[in-house]
Amino acid sequence: MASTDIHVHVIVIPLMSQSHLIPMIDLSKQLAERGLIVTIITTPRNALRYQATINQAILSGLGIQLVSLPFPCNKAGLPEGCENLDSLPSPHLQTKFLVATSLLQTPLESYLANIDPKPNCIISGLPWTSDVAHKFNIPRFAYQGISCFTLLCSHKMVLHKVHENNEYDNEPFLVPDVPDKIEFTYAQLPKMMKRSSPHIGDGIDIKDIRDQFNQACSSAEGLLVNTFDELEFEYVKSYQKAVMRNVLCVGPLSLCNKMEKDTSIIDEHHCLRWLESMKPRSVVYVCFGSLCHLRPKQLIELGKGLEASNFPFIWIIRDVDYNEEIDKWIINENFEEKVNGKGIVIKGWAPQVLILSHPSTGGFLTHCGWNSTLEGVSAGVPMITWPMFAEQFYNEKLIVQVLKIGVRIGVEVTMHWGEEQNEGIYVKWETVRNAIDKLMCEGQEIRKRAKEFGEKAKKAVQKGGSSYLNITSFIHHLSQTLVTK
């Protein structure tokens, strides 16, 4: 374990969402392995969820701790226990939740006023943390859990307002002044980019929230991004030139998680034992992350497509999606018996990083969330892209058009979170089958490029790699700040 000559204490404050908590905890462990003292600030329920991981890091000798601060859900107008975006009973509470994170400001200031030694840096992209950093005269770096491709494209669209002038939702427009010819339609954009921005009951505009988060990033001393230089070099440089000079790519952070080597998980989860019986690069892994929701009719179409394809598969269905209708269909159709020996269905959680990195996994049907995208890239596995909401259509463009490591399922319209029941079936079973067959049978060049990017990802986080050196630069910056004080 490397160490710095001066003990640097870093406070890490993630947005309370799995997509931020998981990589920021991985980043925290990385910094602790390099000799920094790291304190992760979160709420009681989130702390409980990750305490075992942090305890293991402490046992290995790392200077890392979790500190939980009270989060008054009722005061925020949220149901009791809703301390994570994943736990919201309705997506309509999402904006209210983002605003409510500022209720952590007062308890955080009380905590900072009473600790010794004082922190030397705050890492957070939450808007209110900029006020805290200013009040206590603490340098602040922002964290971004999306790609530089997405950051640059969004910035250029907002700057030039090209997305606001289209008469029709399906009319393509060109993103100006980016390294590649990138086109979107209005229908593919996240809700925060829409012309008529929705409000919640007390009049808070989603665009205002977007602007606050953007301001929190641009006002920081630097930006730590969960990506790596070799993946999107031109977009990193273009974003540095257009928006923020001090951008440090520190990912893929999932590769820094030593827990993926835990043999007890391998022994316990039957899908990993099942993978051992499959041919190399023959299995399609199907998973849509922790927030994406498919209605039953669409899940049934997906299941039919997997059954009809010529390749074995692992299909993850979230607990919330595995309802009575799906259970009834699986039983009545004898689905698991029909695919016995060819495919398995897993209800709930599965060890995604281990599945993707297994030699038998040859394709990843994904919703294109950034963490999942990076995990697919890191494993060198080509992807079938099925974006649904948020920045997922951006990630699809990066995967398919720029990196050329995937094929599209063909979705053209954002599926608004929580409004899935109002949508028609986007993808028929024949389309699923055809996309799988195309990737697995005809995707030799795609597979080759995916493997190359997987090798680059692993090199980036190794000693001397680009992300390793960027973290070194970050630590050096903080150490120099201490010396000059």
How far is the C-alpha of 460 from the C-alpha of 469, rounded, in Å?
9
**Rounded mean pLDDT of the chain?**
89
Same domain (yes/no): 427, 476: no
What's the pLDDT tens digit per position in 191-214? 788 765 544 444 566 777 878 888
Same domain (yes/no): 289, 410: yes
How far is the C-alpha of 127 from the C-alpha of 145, rounded, in Å?
15
Query: Which band of pLDDT confidence, cut at 50, 70 and 90, is reported for residue 322?
Result: confident
* pLDDT at residue 259 in the model: 42
Same domain (yes/no): 204, 322: no
Phi, psi values for residue 342, rounded to 5°: -105, -40
Q: What does the pLDDT average to over 438-465?
A: 96
411 falls within a domain: yes
What's the pLDDT tens digit per position in 62-100? 999 999 999 988 888 888 888 998 888 777 788 888 888
* pLDDT at residue 174 in the model: 95
Same domain (yes/no): 61, 155: yes
Same domain (yes/no): 390, 426: yes
Task: Assess whether pLDDT exceeds 60 at residue 452.
Answer: yes
448: domain CATH number? 3.40.50.2000
Q: Specify the range with the lowest mean pLDDT, choosing from 55-59, 95-99, 221-225, 449-453.
A: 95-99
The most confident of the ranges 159-163, 214-218, 301-305 is 301-305
Same domain (yes/no): 138, 250: yes
Task: Assess whether pLDDT exceeds 90 at residue 28.
Answer: yes
H helices of 369-428, in order, are 370-379, 392-397
Same domain (yes/no): 417, 480: no
Same domain (yes/no): 421, 450: yes
Task: Assess whether pLDDT exceeds 50 at residue 262.
Answer: no
* pLDDT at residue 218 in the model: 86
Task: Assess whether pLDDT exceeds 60 at residue 485.
Answer: no
How far is the C-alpha of 107 from the C-alpha of 113, rounded, in Å?
10
1 falls within a domain: no
Same domain (yes/no): 410, 431: yes
Q: Could you give the percent of the chain with pLDDT greater than 70? A: 91
The residue ranges of DSSP E strands in 57-158, in sequence order, are: 64-68, 121-123, 140-144
Q: Specify the range with the lowest mean pLDDT, choosing from 172-181, 257-266, 347-356.
A: 257-266
| Containing structural domain, residue 305 | 263-457
429 falls within a domain: yes
2 falls within a domain: no
* pLDDT at residue 260 in the model: 42
Q: Which residues pair with 361 in a beta bridge?
A: 283
Overall domain count for the chain: 2
Query: Which band of pLDDT confidence, cut at 50, 70 and 90, is reported for residue 145?
Result: very high
Task: Assess whether pLDDT exceeds 80 at residue 164.
Answer: yes
C-alpha dist (Å) from residue 48 to 14, 42, 53, 67: 15, 10, 10, 10
Same domain (yes/no): 220, 178: yes
* pLDDT at residue 257 in the model: 67
The token pair at 133 is 């950093």
How far is the C-alpha of 151 from the C-alpha of 157, rounded, in Å?
10
More confident residue, 223 or 416: 223
Supply the pTM of this predicted model: 0.92
Task: Assess whether pLDDT exceeds 90 at residue 406.
Answer: yes
4 falls within a domain: no
How far is the C-alpha of 53 from the C-alpha of 46, rounded, in Å?
12
Same domain (yes/no): 284, 237: no
Q: Which residues pair with 364 in a beta bridge?
A: 285, 383
Distance of CA 466 to the CA centre of its chain: 20
What's the pLDDT tens digit per position in 273-319? 999 999 999 999 999 987 777 888 899 999 999 999 989 999 999 87
* pLDDT at residue 199 in the model: 47
426 falls within a domain: yes
Question: At which residue do the structure tokens 């929580």 appear?
Answer: 418
Same domain (yes/no): 316, 392: yes
What kind and span of H or E run contains 47? helix 44-59
More confident residue, 105 or 91: 105
Task: Assess whether pLDDT exceeds 90 at residue 215.
Answer: no
